[in-house]
């Protein structure tokens, strides 16, 4: 990856298109190599990771399951290592750690290896790391070390790399033809080519609503469950970066109680996709109802349709025909908005708001000592 002087979060967002193009170009060697020795009767995968990488895995999961006809379980590494049940039927494990040193991910991987005969793959930005020494194969996401604490580029590279693992597995196991696989790669390439345009349109959109976003005391994003990972990452990013209460809800989750938290100063984003008609109808009904609660309704649309009401609060982006690939573009507006809103609020992302928090956590992570003295 090209070195940058004093990079910011926006610097890495702007690197997404060229770096994801590198991931695409490296597909035959990188992904093909990682699965060269994988079982040909693979049916049940397990992904172990934490934090934003977990959201990236959720974003890739539905595509992986659909294209490769596999069950994909995603587990938080800390929970799995300490409390998780090891399913001996798991045949492929993907352990994700950007540094390759995350202790929870290493512990979870070792636990899975002890209880299964699974083929194991490390996914990381540091191919020479403790994680890669434990696995059968490695996928380098080709981002290099993202030196800011709030990942954006690495998030997208993890998502795409996981989707590519699913695609290659399907091809190797002859579930799809080489021609069909190449068509999938062409579709990914087209989406990647629209990343810079998505960034620019999101930038322009922010500038239209700078004041309203800056005054927000709460944000919520709502969308179909196909972008559940995007919604989770939106919640993560806005909480970390904008530092106001933020939630991401699927349409189903919002209708099952979350709507009770809406109020007149609530800023709501709706992700619109050409998905199942019943889901689209329900989401539109939610938006219509909520517009009577708050005027701060914003729409991020990948449908290609002109808004029914031209309120100028819809951000129209590239039409995405395969909703399983939509997460590749859907997260970008939220990355861009989070950066600009935080900058306008004067938040210095280089300096944690609670500077001593990590010191306290590091101390809490130290092994317990047993006092054997008696009174």
Which residue matches tokens 């009401």? 309
Judge whether residue 83 has pLDDT over 60.
yes
Rounded CA gap, 375 and 370, in Å? 15
Judge whether residue 50 has pLDDT over 60.
yes
Task: Name the token pair of 47.
Answer: 């992904």
Alpha carbons within 13 A on the beta-carbon side of 82: 6
- Residue 217: the pLDDT is 94
pTM: 0.94
State pLDDT tens for residues 168-211. 999 999 999 999 999 999 999 999 999 999 999 999 999 999 99
DSSP state of 186: H
Q: What are phi and psi of 304, to 5 degrees?
A: 85, 0
The closest of 302, 274, 309, 304 to 288, measured between CA atoms, is: 309
State pLDDT tens for residues 145-156. 998 888 999 999
Judge whether residue 259 has pLDDT over 90.
no
What domains can be seen in the chain, in order of their start residue?
9-193 (3.40.50.10490), 195-344 (3.40.50.10490)
Confidence class for position 260, pLDDT limits 50, 70, 90 = confident
Angle, nearest 10°, between helix axes 178-193 and 16-25? 170
- Residue 310: the pLDDT is 63
Share of the chain above pLDDT 70, in %: 94
Judge whether residue 242 has pLDDT over 80.
yes
- Residue 1: the pLDDT is 45
């Amino acid at each position: 990856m090209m070195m940058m002087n004093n990079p910011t979060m926006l610097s890495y967002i702007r690197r997404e298109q060229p770096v994801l193009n590198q991931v695409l170009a490296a597909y035959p060697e990188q992904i093909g190599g990682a699965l060269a020795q994988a079982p040909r009767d693979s049916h049940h995968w397990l992904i172990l990771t934490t934090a934003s990488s977990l959201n990236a895995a959720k974003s890739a999961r539905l595509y992986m399951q659909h294209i490769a006809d596999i069950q994909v379980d995603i587990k938080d590494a800390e929970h799995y290592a300490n409390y998780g049940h090891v399913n001996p039927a798991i045949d492929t494990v993907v352990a994700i750690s950007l540094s390759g040193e995350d202790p929870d991910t290493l512990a979870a991987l070792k636990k899975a290896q002890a209880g299964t005969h699974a083929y194991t793959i490390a996914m990381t930005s540091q191919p020479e790391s403790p994680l890669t020494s434990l696995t059968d194969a490695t996928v380098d996401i080709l981002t290099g070390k993202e030196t800011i604490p709030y990942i954006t580029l690495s998030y997208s590279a993890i998502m795409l790399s996981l989707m590519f693992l699913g695609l290659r597995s399907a091809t190797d196991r002859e579930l799809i033809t080489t021609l069909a696989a190449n068509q999938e790669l062409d579709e990914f390439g087209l989406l990647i080519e629209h990343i810079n345009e998505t960034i620019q349109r999101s930038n322009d959109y922010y500038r239209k609503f700078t004041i309203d976003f800056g005054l927000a005391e709460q944000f919520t994003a709502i969308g179909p469950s196909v972008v559940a990972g995007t919604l989770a990452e939106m919640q993560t990013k806005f909480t970390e970066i904008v530092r106001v209460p933020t939630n991401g809800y699927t349409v189903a989750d919002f209708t099952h109680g979350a709507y009770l938290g809406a109020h007149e100063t609530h800023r709501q984003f709706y992700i619109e996709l050409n998905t199942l008609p019943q889901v689209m109808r329900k989401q539109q009904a939610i938006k219509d109802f909520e517009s009577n609660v708050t005027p701060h309704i914003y729409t991020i649309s990948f449908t290609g349709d002109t808004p029914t009401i031209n309120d100028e609060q819809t951000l129209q982006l590239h039409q995405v025909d395969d909703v399983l690939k939509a997460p590749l573009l859907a997260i970008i507006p939220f990355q861009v908005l989070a950066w600009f809103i935080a900058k306008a609020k004067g938040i210095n992302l280089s300096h944690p708001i609670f500077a001593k928090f990590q010191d306290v956590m590091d101390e809490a992570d130290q092994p317990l000592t047993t006092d054997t003295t008696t009174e």
